[in-house]
Amino acid sequence: MNDLRAVFVGAALLGFGTGVAAESLRCPGGIASEGDSRLSLIYKCGEPLLRDNYCAPVYHSDGINPVPEPFAGAFVPCQATEELLYDRGAGNLMATVRVRSGVIRSITYGRVPR
């Protein structure tokens, strides 16, 4: 009986640890989520209040250190990134949507853009 209980407890703990929090943005045309295309975002949410395009640095495989400058421009291109700011109206936080390679990578909320 104790073995069976241990299996159930282990399965329950494993199930709780596998959840990944993905943000979504509720819009008049539907819900835009991480993994959706930029085209889908514009279709569902319309044009953003503000937009910013920049070239994000590429990181080593360790994920902590960026590629050093002499190599970054010559051998490793930066990653084109677009941030779109949506004002969701009174009583709601602003939403910043980060798009890379035409796909929504993250959605963050706050009173002011970071």
Consecutive sets of 10 residues in the chain, 114 residues long: mean pLDDT of each? 51 48 88 95 96 81 61 66 93 93 93 77
34 assigned to some structural domain: yes
Give me the pLDDT at residue 7, please: 43
Give me the pLDDT at residue 58, please: 72
101 assigned to some structural domain: yes
Task: For residue 90, give the CATH number of its domain.
Answer: 3.30.1450
Kindly provide the residue ranges of all beta strands, DSSP E only, lying in the chain, ordered along the sequence: 24-27, 30-33, 50-56, 79-86, 94-100, 103-110
Closest among 110, 106, 108, 109 to 34, alpha carbons compared: 106
Range of the domain at 36: 21-110
Give me the pLDDT at residue 80, please: 86
Q: What is the number of structural domains in the chain?
A: 1
12 assigned to some structural domain: no
61 assigned to some structural domain: yes
